[in-house]
A and B are shown apart, each in its own frame.
Chain A
Amino acid sequence: MIINEYFLYYRRSIDVDSINCELGPFDVFVSAYNSSDRVRTVFEDVRASRKIWLMHPEYKYAPIEYPDNGEYVAPEERNEKSQVEELIQALEGTDFNNICIDITGFMRHVLIFLIAKLKFIGVKKLKVVYSEPKFYRSQEDTQFSTVTSGTVGPVMGMAQGSDSEGDDYLLLGVGYDHELIGEVVNNKDSAKVYPIFSFPSLSPDMYQQSALRASKSGDVALEKIWQVNKRFFPANDPFAIASILSDVVKEVTYKDPKANIYISPLSTKVQALGFSFFWLKESKKYSSSLTIILPQCITYSRETSSGINRLWEYQIEF
């Protein structure tokens, strides 16, 4: 029997009422600051020698609004490399094997690059937490990214050149942001699209909400292929996401060995983590090329959700 490697990674849920008992202690706890309860609650309750807020410039917090319950790193530039480098610099001298990152408030491009960068600098394992919201504030009308530049491009360091003889394929992690889906699809309008929906979703209603929003994604959502190529993966398990992504990539590569495969995680941060993890594990495995692409966000909503439903801990092992 062949065991799927992704099923062997460790993940567990943590009782949200006993975070301070169950989570940590860590040398450093890093979280991206925004105005959601779930981000702040975890940051306050976790046990760690150092707690660092990453202040993403996309949230547009003025210095006067910065939290005073921890250190903070506040990059000025939006690109993932600058943001991650500033964070890594702040972590200098730390034992990277005992840090924990709360990915809940992270910008996707920074999160994806951070995971790759940590692997690059030799981190072997890493604890990551993600808190699920009870609900999104405006249900299917919740606005996440508020302004994008219109540029869609690879996450830095995670592009593989396309083969001029191969067709393009776009494996799209479908979330609530139909504008983002539209942007990515417009950018790769030569691509055959595989929409991958989060199912089971974080809560039962969220699948319906994301499906409703995704239906506004432009011509791609009207095409037969949107139904025919539809796939699912759970919203809260990065390893299961990586595993399913692996299956779809295998399927595409089997059909078209010269395929240029673009993967774009536009749903939960767990999905972004799963995509990043998958790319790091498997990008050199196939004859096809694999590139993670995202639309470039200029601003992002500070508060999109209410409450904490569940808290998850994942152990990433490179």
Chain B
Amino acid sequence: MDNPFSLVRASDYTNEQINSLWVELGENIIDTIIEPKLKISKFILGGKGSGKTHLLRYYSYPVVRLRNTELSGLETIKKQGFLAVFLRATGLDAARFETGSGSNLKWTQLFAIYLELRLAEAVLNSLCDIAASSDENFNDEEFIKEIGDGINNKDFFECSNVADVREWAVNEKKKIDEAVNNAAFTDTLDVKIPFSLGSLCLALNHALYKWCPNLKHIPVIYLIDEIENFSVEQQKVVNTLIRYGEGYITFRISGRLYSRKTSKTLGDGEENREGSEYKITQLDYMLRNYKEFNNFAKRFISKRFLATANINEGDIKASFDPSLSMDVVSSNDYFLGVIEKLDFEDIEALVKSKFHNALYKNGKSGVLLKEVDEIVETLTVGFPLILQKLNFLIFCKRINKADSYIGLAHWVKEQASLHMSNSLDSKDYYFVSYSHYSYDLLAQITKESKNSVDFPYAGFDTFVKMSSGNMRSLLIILGRLFAIAKFKGVDFGGPEKLSVEMQTEAAIESAQFLYESDSNFGEASDKAREAVLRLAQLLRTARYALNIPEVSPITVSFSDSDLNETARFVLNNALNYSFVFEISSGRPDRNSQRINRKIQLNPLLSPKWGLPVGRRGDLSLNAETLNSIFDQAHYQEFKLILAKLRDKWNDPFKKSVPEVDQGELF
């Protein structure tokens, strides 16, 4: 059986597959994202794998046509209520309009004409199909006359129908291709521009009505994918078309989160304004908060699996629930199942010695070795390993409020005993602490084991959580898992569940893939990757500390005004390439009540550093720490800051840590 979860790039989906894929999500949701009837243009922004290309293609004429095979092209458009055509920005190879000689303005103009010809060509392709599939009499003469008003090219006026116009557009495009090529050798850009900006692609809507009065209220929508591939000047061209086309021609443009390089238009550089000339939808955010994503994911995965499996073999059920194929991490008996598999020389001694040393070395003056021994004994004897660790942690957290060390130790012991006998209320401090910190403490135990077992990542729900609403991310993990299971001779979906170890291996490989292989976009992604490594180092230092500063540390918060220019640029790129996500709610600053920005590591990356996948607490970063993470120039400072934080979080009894702004750090 082939890997049912192997990645399929957008290109590999046929128009038929695009239709079947989105059936699951439902047309209403797609309509909400694309808003085809909206009178202004719209940017649809999101990370890789968020489905931008599919969404745009879903509305393009050829795909719409396939959903309505019983209808003619004309009937399809009337039923749909709009005519949308799809263009991939990379298809223009726009870089060649950037590097030529001569004035930049001339190259930008040429790009604009070329873009219009491409858009018009796509519309004309659709019209040719509409004409061929319908008995209606189309008024080609009026169509040509309407467009001809803005065309200054004698070849155009030899056209007698839409097919000729299409041919003309193709030929004009070829002339530009040739002129651009020749300019590289001759230094002369020898091409006559056949029309001025907007005269072709913006005129098509009126021409459509003249061609076929039945299409009077049918708007034309240009769907442009991957706008980040256009330069600033080229995006100005698009912005200008958006501005001039308002009302009768609109655009739906997709790109990464920070793919928009300018909102200016050509000429006087007037800016398009959000809400006035365009709207923005952030697809990632929408999908991350899509409540039905878990069910959608389950159906999607099940469908993929069953489509690939030979269901006639009889060993595959007609329905398939991926969650039943995977073992999960059992938290029973304080993670006994996980801890039993670990190989320790003397873990208890190791755990104790860290706490013991910290307390003895830096504790209140006058803490005697004997007293320290008693505290350690009180907090550990008779408790499972994870509770021993939790007891130390709670001791660290409560030390400042305690009158006596011994008294605190006994209170913690009492609470731990009550927890073990299930006598605590779910709101009790100890109970809450256990539910918050248990996985962080388990991570520490796995790290401290002699055989360096990885912190476990397992279970379908965990993987869905890690995918953060991005189906491609889920496929990356499951694809790896399938391959590993196959290699080890275990059937995915067979009677034997996939072990936690196998799943963890798949999760780590997926994280490695995302970090190293999946985001190569040159200098910008390289710098973002380095910054994310530093961020992860900080989070890891927090999670594996004796006194874990925040529960499940995967998120940081900071004031936007603290970012220097470079750090802001790098952070934007980290968001762009989905290394991190922005949490839209933000977090109020404890002192000023100002809303801080909140950034979370992409949980798909978490296994690379043994970090959590769920978000709970966040580390508040001061300006110095923030810029040392996101600005490579401050790398040396970062090393220093990290060392100090490591010291502080592992030496909770130390009275002061110089040069660290504790107030702002937490």
Do A and B truly interact? yes
A residues engaging B (CB < 8 A)?
A: 79, 81, 113, 116-117, 120, 147-154, 156-165, 167-168, 178-180, 182-183, 186-192, 216-225, 260, 291, 293, 295-296, 298
Residues of B within 8 A of A186 (CB): 520-521
The reply to whether B517 and A221 form a contact with Cβ atoms under 8 Å apart is yes
> Could you tell me if A156 and B96 are in contact, using CB atoms closer than 8 angstroms?
yes
Given A81-B184, A190-B90: A218 and B520 within 8 A (CB)? yes
Given known A-B contacts A79-B99, A168-B11, A189-B9, A156 and B520 have beta carbons under 8 A apart: no
Q: Specify which chain B residues have a CB less than 8 angstroms from the CB of A149 in the assembled complex.
A: 522-523
**Which A residue sits closest to B99, measured CB to CB?**
A79
For B325, the chain A residues whose CB sits under 8 A away are none
Judged by a CB distance under 8 angstroms, whether B229 is at the interface is yes
Evaluate contact between B523 and A162: CB separation under 8 angstroms: no
Task: Pick out which of these stretches binds chain A: B171-179, B268-276, B534-542, B580-588.
Answer: B171-179
Residue of A nearest to B231 (CB): A151
Cross-chain contact of B91 among A168, A182, A217, A225 (Cβ < 8 A) = A168
- With both beta carbons as reference points, the residue of chain B lying nearest to A262 in the complex is identified as B93
User: Closest Cβ of chain A: how far from B185's Cβ, in Å?
Assistant: 5
Closest A residue to B180 by CB, please name it.
Answer: A159
CA distance A224 to B8 in the complex (A): 9
Q: Which A residues touch B526, using CB under 8 A?
A: 147
Give, as a whole number of angstroms, the nearest-CB distance from A217 to chain B. 6
Report the nearest A residue to B49, measured CB to CB: A219
Q: Is the CB of A156 within 8 A of B99?
A: yes
Pair B523/A156 contact, Cβ less than 8 Å: no
Give B450 Cβ to nearest chain A Cβ, in Å.
30
Query: Once bound together, how far apart are the Cα atoms of A10 and B182, in whole Å?
Result: 30
A138 and B513 alpha carbons, distance in the complex (Å): 22
Task: Please tell me if the beta carbons of A154 and B122 are within 8 angstroms of each other in the complex.
Answer: no
A184 to B6, CA, bound (A): 20
Main secondary structure of the interface of A (DSSP, over half): mixed
Tell me whether A148 and B518 are in contact in the complex, defined as CB-CB below 8 angstroms, given that A220-B9, A222-B479, A225-B12 are known contacts.
Answer: no
* B100: nearest chain-A partner, CB-CB: A156
Question: Among residues 180 to 219 in chain B, which have CB atoms less than 8 Å away from a CB atom of chain A?
Answer: 180-185
Chain B residues with CB under 8 Å of A151's CB are 95, 522
Task: Judge whether A154 and B96 touch: CB under 8 Å.
Answer: yes
Q: Are B184 and A187 neighbours in the complex by a CB distance under 8 Å?
A: no
Question: For chain B, which range describes its interface: under 10, 10 to 19, 20 to 34, or 35 or more residues?
Answer: 35 or more
B9 interface neighbour in A117, A159, A160, A223, Cβ under 8 Å:
A223
Tell me if B70 is interfacial: C-beta within 8 Å of chain A: no
A150 to B228, CA, bound (A): 11
Distance in angstroms from A114 CB to nearest chain B CB is 12
Q: Are B93 and A293 in contact (CB under 8 A)?
A: yes
A123 CB, min distance to chain B CBs, angstroms? 13
The answer on a CB contact under 8 Å between A154 and B95 is yes
A187 partner residues in chain B, CB cutoff 8 A:
90, 229
Contact B93 A291 (CB under 8 A): yes
Contact A183–B522 (Cβ < 8 Å): yes
| Contact, CB under 8 Å: A162 / B93 | yes
Q: Which residue in chain A gives the minimum CB-CB distance to B472? A: A219
Apart from A218-B518, A225-B12: 11 A-B pairs, beta carbons within 8 A = A149-B522, A153-B95, A159-B93, A161-B173, A163-B170, A182-B519, A187-B229, A190-B11, A190-B88, A217-B520, A222-B513
Contacting A190 at CB < 8 Å: which of B10, B176, B518, B522?
Answer: B10
Q: Which single residue of chain B is at the shortest CB-CB distance from A190?
A: B11
Tell me the complex Cα distance, A164–B96, Å: 18
**Closest chain B CB from A291 CB (angstroms):** 6
Asked whether any CB of chain A lies closer than 8 Å to the CB of B373, the reply is: no
Residues of B within 8 A of A116 (CB): 185
**In the bound complex, CA of A117 to CA of B186 (Å):** 10
Interface residues of B in 50-109 (CB under 8 A from A): 87-88, 90-96, 98-101
Take A150-B525, A190-B91, A191-B11 as given contacts and tell me if A157 and B185 are in contact as well, using a CB distance cutoff of 8 Å.
yes
- Total A-B residue contacts, Cβ distance less than 8 Å: 131
A217 and B517 contact, CB distance less than 8 A = yes
Shortest beta-carbon distance, A2 to chain B, in Å?
30
In the complex the two chains form, is A148's CB within 8 Å of B10's CB?
A: no
Say yes or no: B523 contacts A216, CB within 8 Å.
no
| Top 6 A-B residue pairs of the complex, sorted by shortest distance between their CB atoms | A153-B95, A150-B522, A157-B184, A182-B520, A161-B177, A156-B184
**Chain B residues with CB below 8 A from A191, complex form:** 11
A79 to B100, CA, bound (A): 10
Closest B residue to A153 by CB, please name it: B95
**In the complex, which residue of chain B has the Cβ closest to the Cβ of A120?**
B185
Q: How far is the CB of A181 from chain B (nearest CB, A)?
A: 8
How far is the CB of A115 from the nearest CB of chain B, in Å? 12
CB <8 Å contact, B185 and A117: yes
Partner of A157, one of B12, B94, B182, B479: B182
B520 adjacent to A219 (CB under 8 Å): no
**Interface assignment of B125: CB less than 8 Å from any CB of chain A:** yes
Which residues on the A side are within 8 Å of B12 (C-beta)?
192, 223, 225
* In the bound complex, CA of A217 to CA of B185 (Å): 34
CB distance from A257 to the nearest CB of B (A): 14
User: Would you give 9 A-B contacts (Cβ < 8 Å), ordered by A?
Assistant: A120-B185, A147-B526, A156-B100, A156-B184, A168-B91, A219-B9, A223-B8, A223-B12, A296-B95
Q: Determine if B181 and A159 form an interchain contact, defined as CB atoms under 8 angstroms apart.
A: yes
B121 within 8 A of A: yes
- By a CB distance below 8 angstroms, the chain A residues around B6 are 222-224
Give Cα distance in the complex from A120 to B100, angstroms. 17
Q: Which residue of B lies closest to A219 (CB)?
A: B7
Report yes or no: B7 in contact with A222, Cβ–Cβ below 8 A: yes
**A170: nearest residue on chain B (CB-CB)?**
B11
CB of B517 within 8 A of CB of A178, answer yes
Residue of A nearest to B526 (CB): A147
Chain B 444-483 interface mask (CB, 8 Å, partner A; 1/0): 0000000000000000000000000000000010010000
Q: How far is the CA of A163 from the CA of B91 in the complex (A)?
A: 9
B479, A150: Cβ atoms under 8 Å?
Answer: no
Say yes or no: A164 contacts B99, CB within 8 Å.
no
**Shortest distance from the beta carbon of A148 to any chain B beta carbon, whole Å:** 4
CB of B2 within 8 Å of the partner chain: yes
Of listed A178, A216, A221, residue having the most chain B CB within 10 A: A216
Please give, as numbers and ranges, the residues of chain A lying within 8 Å of B88 by CB-CB distance: 190
Q: Is B16 an interface residue (CB 8 A)?
A: no
Counting CB contacts under 8 A, is B266 at the interface? no
A152-B9 Cα distance, complex, nearest whole Å? 19
- Contact between A157 and B181 (Cβ–Cβ < 8 Å)? yes
B524: CB under 8 A from chain A?
yes
Which one of B7, B94, B99 has the greatest number of beta carbons of chain A within 10 Å? Answer: B99
- Could you tell me if A153 and B99 are in contact, using CB atoms closer than 8 angstroms? yes
Residues of A within 8 A of B520 (CB): 178-180, 182-183, 186, 217-218
User: Which residues of A are found within 8 Å of B182, using beta-carbon distances?
Assistant: 157
Which single residue of chain A is at the shortest CB-CB distance from B98? A153
Contact B11 A192 (CB under 8 A): yes
Query: B229's closest neighbor in chain A, by CB?
Result: A187
Nearest CB to that of A160 among chain B residues?
B177
Inter-chain contacts of B518 with A (CB < 8 A): 182, 218-219
CA distance A260 to B6 in the complex (A): 26
Q: Are A295 and B9 in contact (CB under 8 A)?
A: no
B516 within 8 A of A: yes
Min CB distance B181 to A, Å, is 5
Residue B42 at the chain A interface, CB threshold 8 Å: no
**Smallest Cβ-Cβ distance to B518: which chain A residue:** A218
For A113, the chain B residues whose CB sits under 8 A away are 184
B252 at the interface (CB under 8 A from A): no
Which chain A residues lie closer than 8 Å to B180 at the CB level?
159
In angstroms, how far is the closest chain A Cβ from the Cβ of B625? 27
Q: How far is the CB of B526 from chain A (nearest CB, A)?
A: 7
Q: Residue B118 at the A interface, CB < 8 A?
A: yes
Specify which of B87, B90, B476, B523 is in contact with A188 (CB 8 Å cutoff): B90
A218 to B516, CA, bound (A): 8
Taking the nearest CB of chain B, how far is it from the CB of A85, in angstroms? 8
- Chain B residues contacting A189 (CB-CB under 8 Å) are 9-11, 90
Shortest CB-to-CB span from A300 to chain B, Å, is 13
Question: Chain A's nearest CB lies how many Å from the CB of B16?
Answer: 15
Given the complex of chains A and B, what is the CA–CA distance between A113 and B181 in angstroms?
Answer: 11
Task: Please judge, given known A-B contacts A157-B182, A186-B521, A190-B10, whether A165 and B93 are in contact too, CB under 8 Å.
Answer: no
